[in-house]
Amino acid sequence: MRAPRILVTGGAGFIGSHTCVALIAAGYLPVVLDTLVNSDARSLQRVACITGVEPVLVCGDVRDAVALDRVFAAYNVAAVVHLAGLKAVGESVADPVSYYDVNLAGTLALVQAMDRAGVRRLVFSSSATVYGDSQPSPIAESAPYAAVNPYGRTKAMVESVLADLARADARWGIACLRYFNPIGAHESGLLGERPHGPPNNLMPYIAQVAAGQRECLVVHGADYDTVDGTGVRDYVHVMDVAEGHVSALRHAARRPGILMANLGTGRGASVLEVVSAFERASGRRIALRIGPRRPGDAPAYWADARGAWQAFGWRARRDLDQMCADSWRWQAANPHGFDDPAPAHASGLPRFQDNTSTSINSKPGHSHA
């Protein structure tokens, strides 16, 4: 029997490409829809190096109803994992309309197309940012929405739309996964995070300092009321997050309705604890200086991670040392990201391509992958 096809929007990105690896390992065939606005098509070649299967890439926009209809008509899709979106908090403050357009209108276009196609199984990439910055930790899923920036509000609004949809139509099975801080890379060193430009986030910044590509890490504040004064977050390995999608997908396929689940470890780590773990993993010293607090940063939060375990049997298995070791392996082997050739030993697996990569677009002249 043919493996079920899963449409993965945003599947060429950081979490999406790792999710493709996990889906293939679990016996699914990902079909990726991505504009590549914040990613690189070569991430999917790295997925093929790891798994032996190169996902189909459809270069198209999740807001494009005609493109979506063509994808559902061309591929016999069983379910959707929806990761496509914009995710930079600062940018969302400066340009909120683009965030509501891509994240909210994009999801509306997607669920309408899914409904037309009769595909009603959905896993959505949400974020701990829906909780805002004043909930006591550990934060459970029952905490109220209190997002403090447009990015977070787009995620909360999408969750509300999906909850209304699930209430109105019992044929839908939906899981909203609220990621805390996904970091790390695939353990092979073949796939990882490659931000465009200077990284905003802690882990890729540390990795680039370790590699000598940036002079020093600026710690955004060391006067918080935390273990060492620096910000505390719940860092979770990206492969644990990826595997969480597989578990959630199976849950959504079995159970109609909607589920909100945190994906975190249930433990917080400070900026300086992450730096120390990275120094141990890499054997390199991370130069740093203490700077002012970053506007909008919360001092400390971490997940109550029990909900995902109770609902669909997922919990994080990899610790901070492994997150750092895997990030460093990726960074050291690929200092220029996907511009670096995949190591020769990676091509040992036979490669299978589900179909030719293609562009399904309603707008003439749109660029192809």
The CA distance from 211 to 192, in Å, is 15
* Catalytic residue, candidates 151, 179, 205, 224: 151
Q: CA end-to-end span of the chain, whole Å?
A: 30
Which one of residues 6, 7, 8, 13 is an interface residue with ligand NAD (CB under 6 A)? 13
Q: Is 21 in the site for ligand UFG (CB under 6 A)?
A: no
Task: Please enumerate in sequence order all residues whose Cβ is within 8 A of that of 11, keeping only pairs 6 or more positions apart, or say none.
Answer: 17, 19, 20, 30, 32, 33, 34, 44, 55, 57, 81, 83
CB of 183 to ligand UFG, least distance (A): 8
144-183 residues in contact with ligand NAD (CB under 6 A) are: 179, 181-182
CB of 158 or CB of 271, closer to ligand UFG: 271
CB of 127 to ligand UFG, least distance (A): 4
| Residue 207 interacts with which of ligand UFG, ligand NAD, none, CB < 5 to 8 Å by class | none
Q: How many helices (H) and strands (E) does the chain have?
A: 12, 15
Q: Is residue 9 near ligand NAD by the rule CB under 6 A? A: yes
34 binds ligand NAD (CB under 6 A): yes
For the purposes of burial, counting CB atoms within 10 Å of the CB of 293, is it exposed (0-12), middle (13-18) or buried (19 or more)?
middle
Taking the complex as a whole, how short is the minimal distance between the CB of residue 111 and ligand NAD, in angstroms?
A: 14
From residue 110, give the alpha-carbon distance in Å to each of 8, 242, 321.
11, 21, 38
| Alpha-carbon distance values, 173 to 7, 45, 123, 248, 250 (Å) | 15, 31, 9, 10, 10
Known catalytic residue at 151: yes
Contacts with ligand NAD by CB under 6 A lie at 9-10, 12-16, 33-39, 61-63, 83-87, 102, 106, 125, 127, 179, 181-182
Positions annotated as catalytic residues are 151
Contacts with ligand UFG by CB under 6 A lie at 87, 89, 127-129, 180-181, 200-202, 205, 217-220, 231, 233, 271, 294, 297
